[in-house]
Amino acid sequence: MDQLDYHMELSQSLKAMVNRGDFPHILFYGPSGAGKKTRVLALLRDIYGPAVEKVKVEHKQFKVGSTTVEIPILSSAHHLELNPGDAGNRDRDVVQELIKEIAASAPLPTSSSGDTSDWKPFKVVVLNEVDNLSKEAQHALRRTMEKYITTCRIMMTCNNACRVIAPIRSRCLCVRVAAPSAAQIAAVLQATARKEAVTLPPLLAEKLAAQAHGNLRKALLTLEAARVAQYPFDPKGEVRQADWEAFIDGVAADCVREQSPRKLGEVRNKLYDLLAHCIPPDMIMERLTRALLVKLKHDPPLLQMEVLHHAALYEVRMISGSKAIFHLEAFIAKFMAVYKRHLFTSFGG
């Protein structure tokens, strides 16, 4: 409830700033599924009213040198939303051209009655996952933010604010969106079930919330999948894992069962399969680390800490590098070496 009051107060403060003509660039950061995009849309609705919900999807083309880059854009009369990371290594040019095009002219009043009291002299560009932008694109974004501040405001979302360069963070109002607790997720699941006329046992709601690990989006999708698989719900039933999560748990079991070059080659092929099915590398690393720690829960804490250390090290290298498979495989190889050394030490080898 305190978190809700905080965000209501924040929304009212930002709306008051808009009315005074002093609205800043904003950076929402927090874990996946915490509600960053939802807060952006709620804030836009507070500023512009229901008109921001009348959106259309278009695929916009940008001419970059001799090539053409096409990315999907969600737009209304007052804002545009896109993920500049969809442009790949052309993200710098897309960010510059898009904001330059949007900010070239101030928005016109759209009220048919002629009332311009609620008119805002700027449009809003929503950029998702800015922590995945290249450093060149982030520096270009910083310069563009300064140049077109009179006719354009930027709202950004990201999972990790540390991967956003300091000049951008210093020019934004940074708002941390914390992951909801298991009790809050369970309450949202119950409210959603009531709206959909579905009876959700409290025990099952708690299981769904616990398995989501603070990701409300994942909890809602799991509830939907469970509704399709079996309804009425069994209060004592188990929550089914996503296929990719079960697959990674199997990879972790393979690593604990055998440490050999042959097994490392098999695991590498499985990692390739995950990446080929568009599972993000950071999610693979997180789930794999979690599964390995579960397998090591009866082993010494120092071993678990060493595994966590190497997981963090290779995740940083994976973020900085360009080929995720290299760093995922290196982490597996390192785990096998550390775990095999532990087995030799434990059994006096």
- Measuring CA to CA, which residue among 218, 239, 220 is closest to residue 230? 239
Confidence (pLDDT) at 253 = 92
Q: How far apart are CA 284 and CA 315, in angstroms?
A: 10
Mean pLDDT of 80-84: 83
Six-digit token string for 86: 């969809």
Instruction: List, for residues 157-171, the tens digit of each pLDDT value.
Output: 998 888 888 998 988
Taking alpha carbons only, the member of 156, 174, 154 closest to residue 25 is: 154
**pLDDT at 175 > cutoff 50:** yes
Contacts of 155 (CB under 8 A, 6+ apart): 25, 26, 27, 28, 40, 43, 44, 124, 125, 126, 127
* pLDDT digits 0-9 by tens, 281-309: 888 999 999 999 999 888 888 999 999 99
CA angle 184, 235, 212 (to 5 degrees): 35
Question: For residue 328, what pLDDT is reported?
Answer: 93
According to DSSP, the residues that pair with 63 across neighbouring strands are: 68
Task: Give the tens place of pLDDT for each residue, 1-26.
Answer: 455 556 666 667 766 776 666 678 88
Q: How many beta carbons lie within 10 A of that of residue 246, not counting itself?
A: 11
What average pLDDT score do residues 84-104 get?
Answer: 75
List of residues 6+ apart from 256 with CB closer than 8 A:
292, 295, 296, 339
